[in-house]
Amino acid sequence: MIDLRSDTVTLPTPRMREAMAHAEVGDDVYGEDPTINRLETMAAGRMGKAAGMYVPSGTMGNLTALLTHCGRGHEVILGDQSHTYLLEAGSYAALGGIHPRAVPNQPDGTINLDHIEAAIRAEDPHFPRTRLICLENTHNVCGGALLHPEYMAAVRGIAERHGLAMHLDGARVFNAAVALGVPATELTKDVDSVTFCLSKGLSAPVGSVLCGSEDFIYEARRARKALGGSMRQAGIIAAAGIVALEEMVDRLAEDHATAKRLAEGLASMPGIGLDPDTVETDIVFFELARDDMTPDELSEALREQGVLVSPKSGRRLRAVTHYGIDAEDIDTALSALRQALA
């Protein structure tokens, strides 16, 4: 199978399995797992923050961040196409009483600065209190679009003027950093907290890290505990995360090149809507621009030829490249697509 459904399907590398087999472990709830401690310190360094906290998933990273920044009745401003708003089961509202203020994402993953500013609530007992602005980089549903450091700084300016905190869902922030050729810290220096995922393009089997100040992470540990996300000898899995940070970041450029190859091939096919210039990282969204076939049918026809993609809402489908997909796989996938569309 050529599995392009997501970069979450990546399997651990041989070096990861070896590191897992030999990981030194302890009880992390006592702060005594040396492998987790090492991963957290390393992750915090890569994000330019003072502290890090290992969590089982990106969803829990974002949720612990929101629960730490906001109290019940507080409001978070976030993009209406953001993963946190659309795809995290409304967890912050269900569990934290946090009110979402969804503002339209632009096709490039940003939120218009004037719209952010206009969404900030005045002090009035009728309103929830705005507390936090969340951004996503790269932006999944906006096709892996990346936010530039200048944009992050501009949003920071708004946050500071209004005394708000900023959180970044940086599930794929290393993809953005590699595509821009800048250290990830350039994209995180303006936020108070950031979650990044080890188990997407970086190929570790489990886990994300939430990073922020010492005080913030101290509080976030209580939120993680409340969610049942404090693990014990989880150094076994964190060991793969260390290998991910050491060895798997720079190679993300290969995934961006294969995504571009896929996008260019797709754009040349009649019945497919896609501008390959908009593909900046590893995610390729394309539209099935014909009525005689649904995205589900196209995806089924591809599955029969050994290629997996994800049908999404409307006429859209998503393909994501990753470790384990090379240029030859892309060419095979493209011929399968040509055949399925014929």
- In the complex with ligand TLP, the residue whose CB is nearer, 1 or 289, is 1
Phi, psi angles (nearest 5°) of residue 139: -95, 115
What is the spatial distance between Cα 272 and Cα 270, in angstroms, rounded to a whole number?
6
Contact between 75 and ligand TLP by CB under 6 A: the answer reads: no
Binding letters toward ligand TLP, positions 2-41, x by CB under 6 A: ----x-x---------------------------------
What is the spatial distance between Cα 275 and Cα 286, in angstroms, rounded to a whole number?
9
Shortest reach from residue 187's CB to ligand TLP, in Å: 14
- Per-position DSSP letters for 274-335, written without gaps between them: --GGG--SSEEEEEE--TTS-HHHHHHHHHHTTEE-EE-STTEEEEE--TT--HHHHHHHHH
Q: Which of 57, 81, 175, 321 binds ligand TLP (CB under 6 A)?
A: 57
Contact between 197 and ligand TLP by CB under 6 A: the answer reads: yes
Shortest reach from residue 324's CB to ligand TLP, in Å: 15
Q: Which of 169, 254, 255, 282 binds ligand TLP (CB under 6 A)?
A: 169
Shortest reach from residue 60's CB to ligand TLP, in Å: 7
Shortest reach from residue 106's CB to ligand TLP, in Å: 16
3-state secondary structure (DSSP) of residue 29: helix
Which residues, in sequence order, are bridge partners of residue 272?
288
- In the complex with ligand TLP, the residue whose CB is nearer, 6 or 13, is 6
3-state secondary structure (DSSP) of residue 182: coil
Which residues, in sequence order, are bridge partners of residue 319?
284
Shortest reach from residue 122's CB to ligand TLP, in Å: 31
Shortest reach from residue 293's CB to ligand TLP, in Å: 23
CB-based burial, 95-126: b 16+ in 10 Å, e otherwise = ebebbbbbbebeeebbbeeeebeebbbeeeee
Which of these segments, 35-43, 54-62, 154-162, 289-297, binds ligand TLP (CB under 6 A)? 54-62
Q: Which of 78, 171, 237, 263 binds ligand TLP (CB under 6 A)?
A: 171
Phi, psi angles (nearest 5°) of residue 304: -65, -25
Where does this chain bind ligand TLP (CB under 6 A)? 6, 8, 57-59, 83, 87, 136, 140, 169, 171, 197, 199, 208
